[in-house]
Chains A and B, each alone.
Chain A
Amino acid sequence: MNRQISVYTDQLTRRFGKFVAVDGVSISVYRGEIFGFLGANGAGKTTLIRMLCGLLKPSGGEGSVAGFDIKEKSEQIKKRIGYMSQRFSLYADLTVTENIHFYGAIYGLAKEEIRQREEELVSQVGLDPYMNQMTKDLPLGIKQRLALGCAMLHNPPILFLDEPTSGVDPQARRGFWNLLYETVQTGKTIFVTTHYMDEAEYCHRVSIMDQGKIIEMGSPSQLKESHKKSTIQDVFIALVGGEKTDQKE
């Protein structure tokens, strides 16, 4: 694997008033990796992603995405990342095609490019039967695939996905993760947060986050080995305590 760094942070911190939502996070994510952020609700995953995407200013520390400083070069970064926020955020009152064309256009793609990407997406993501439906009428799993598709229209080398599969059944999640695997094959980097323990097992590397801090990091097999547990779920419970995990899965 190529060791080129896609996302780098050093003691990255974000405070809201006195409250420290992200507390001195230092990570390096390499090209071609699926890097997972595992943490209970409120751990600070979204705040971290939003800083990396340029939506929030850091209160302290350093960070770079695709080699560009997150404090100064957000315009450069924007062109190189795709972002899927934890809330579904496509236009519900536009059809699938209309959404694709809008997002393509604001990324400055030409009409033919958009059409070409649209075709690729349709086959890759399986949107074929839905193209002219209102986005609000789609099943949740399809909405998530569409959101991923829209985030990738401009072919960004780095993807930030914030809880992309929350709320759908395990089968739909499996399908979504298969898509992610296909995507990293093409050399993209995926930075994904989740609170589903089983999804952590699919990541190349995971970091476990609690109260704004990273308390453990490594490949799933390393983590299980060093903590002598058979699943990431057990590792997580041992580290963070059972009451904070999402026990539904």
Chain B
Amino acid sequence: MKKRHNRIFAVVRKEYLHIIHDYRTLFIVFLMPVAQLIIFGYALNMEIQRVDMAVIDRARSPKAQKLIEEFGGSSYFNLFYYDGRYADIETLFKTRRAKVIMTIPRDFDRRLLRRSMVPVQFLIDASDANAATLIRNYCNQIITNFNLKTGNRTALPFDLRRTIYFNPNMKSAYFFVPGLIALILIMISALLTSVTIAREKETGTMEQILVSPVRPREIIIGKVLPYILLSFMDGAVILAIAKFVFQVPFTGSLLLLILLSVLYIITALSMGLMISTVAPTQQVAMMMALTATLLPTIMLSGLIFPIASMPEILQYFTYIVPARFYLLIVRGILLKGSGFVQLLAPSAILAFMSFFLLNVAVRKFSLNLEK
């Protein structure tokens, strides 16, 4: 008994040495997730702030002033008056001084009073089509507000359709960030362990291990343990970003979230190890780990597409995606304040998955002996 403990510890220590001797591992663990979370988080957020807007105010009337204030008061726009020649406004776009130009006509007040169409012109720089769509929608929204306030039912000089990803209140962060936590944790964790056994095969150290009395179980446990700590630190960084950068509310128990996140991490690490036992090289192992985690997590976990609205066959597939269950946990704790009792089912499933994957890994590892 004493000796077995010793051997697991020897493997743990060796893995730890690999980690600290290789800055690339630390890079994967700490910089990649931070970059990913921030990039994805903002990209999915679909928002732009402080767009430069040039205002050509021909009316110079109290009503026009009100409209301008409406724009100036929102955080979306950064206003400045343009009083150069109208023929030169193109240079505003070319020099990137403005992304949008608003022109208020001379007879603005008069037309408003007559309740007729008021042709306020918006010229939007569409060199970035997505941004242009967003800007158009912001303008749309502000004009609508203005009309409501002034009691106007005037038709507007542009199309009123809204795009689905329009999301004015940063609410998407609440929805997407927990999903990103699930995605990043599983991806990084599975990547980390996926190379560990494949590397031994590639460098030939596998043979040396296999002729020693160390048991497959000891190797597998010894390889999981140090990475739990590493991935856990990763999780802590990601959660901190979620809280302090994206202001995701932490409604429920932080301790419960941490414990269940460790469980999810173990599932992901086990998956990586299982992959590592079947992959012949590190390259293949990494590809397999990415394939097994990235797409299924994005498509089948409920991260973006609600599971209930999937075709029935796909819904069955979601049951083998660990992120599906972790999402229930992380959204439940962060947004709803769920307790352990409500999350018992997904936690039990993750625990079972880990157990199953680790066992497959041990079995496959022993088979290496006989090939």
Q: In this complex, what residue of B is CB-closest to A76?
A: B213
Q: Which of B15-23, B246-254, B332-340 contacts A (4 or more CB under 8 A)?
A: B15-23
> In the docked arrangement, what's the CA distance between A213 and B5, Å?
44
Do residues A83 and B211 form an inter-chain contact, with CB atoms below 8 A?
A: yes
Do residues B212 and A89 form an inter-chain contact, with CB atoms below 8 A?
A: no
Report if A107-B208 is in contact (Cβ < 8 Å); known contacts: A93-B22, A94-B21.
no
A32-73 interface (Cβ within 8 A of B): 50, 53-57
Do residues A89 and B213 form an inter-chain contact, with CB atoms below 8 A?
A: no
Q: Which residues of B contact A54 (CB under 8 A)?
A: 210-211, 369
Q: Which residues of B contact A88 (CB under 8 A)?
A: 204
A62-109 interface (Cβ within 8 A of B): 74-75, 78-79, 81, 83, 85, 87-94, 98, 101-103, 105-108
Report if A106-B7 is in contact (Cβ < 8 Å); known contacts: A78-B211, A83-B208, A89-B205.
yes
Contact for B207 among A55, A102, A106, A110, CB less than 8 A: A55
> In the docked arrangement, what's the CA distance between A50 and B14, Å?
25
Is the C-beta of B3 less than 8 angstroms from some C-beta in chain A? yes
Q: Which residues of A contact B6 (CB under 8 A)?
A: 105, 108, 110
Q: In this complex, what residue of A is CB-closest to B213?
A: A78
Is the C-beta of B310 less than 8 angstroms from some C-beta in chain A? no
Q: In this complex, what residue of B is CB-closest to A77?
A: B211
The total of chain B residues at the interface (CB under 8 A) is 26
Do residues B369 and A89 form an inter-chain contact, with CB atoms below 8 A?
A: no
Distance (whole angstroms) from the CB of A101 to the closest CB of chain B: 8
Is the C-beta of B370 less than 8 angstroms from some C-beta in chain A? yes
> In the docked arrangement, what's the CA distance between A88 and B207, Å?
11
Do residues A98 and B17 form an inter-chain contact, with CB atoms below 8 A?
A: yes
Q: In this complex, what residue of A is CB-closest to B14?
A: A102
Q: Which residues of A contact B207 (CB under 8 A)?
A: 50, 55, 83, 85, 87, 89
Q: Which residues of B contact A53 (CB under 8 A)?
A: 211
Which of B3, B11, B208 is most buried by chain A, counting CB atoms within 10 A of its CB?
B208
Distance (whole angstroms) from the CB of A118 to the closest CB of chain B: 15
Do residues B204 and A78 form an inter-chain contact, with CB atoms below 8 A?
A: no
Q: In this complex, what residue of A is CB-closest to B368?
A: A55
Do residues B17 and A94 form an inter-chain contact, with CB atoms below 8 A?
A: yes
> In the docked arrangement, what's the CA distance between A94 and B18, Å?
7
Is the C-beta of B42 less than 8 angstroms from some C-beta in chain A? no
A102-146 interface (Cβ within 8 A of B): 102-103, 105-108, 110, 134
Is the C-beta of B48 less than 8 angstroms from some C-beta in chain A? no
Contact for A106 among B18, B21, B212, B370, CB less than 8 A: B212
Distance (whole angstroms) from the CB of A186 to the closest CB of chain B: 21
> In the docked arrangement, what's the CA distance between A54 and B14, Å?
24
Do residues B369 and A55 form an inter-chain contact, with CB atoms below 8 A?
A: yes
Q: In this complex, what residue of A is CB-closest to B11?
A: A106
Report if A87-B204 is in contact (Cβ < 8 Å); known contacts: A93-B22, A105-B6, A105-B7.
yes
Is the C-beta of B209 less than 8 angstroms from some C-beta in chain A? yes
Do residues B213 and A106 form an inter-chain contact, with CB atoms below 8 A?
A: yes
> Beyond A56-B370, A94-B14, A134-B21: 5 further Cβ-contacts under 8 Å?
A55-B369, A90-B205, A91-B203, A91-B205, A98-B14
3 tightest Cβ-Cβ pairs between the two chains A and B: A105-B10, A89-B204, A87-B204
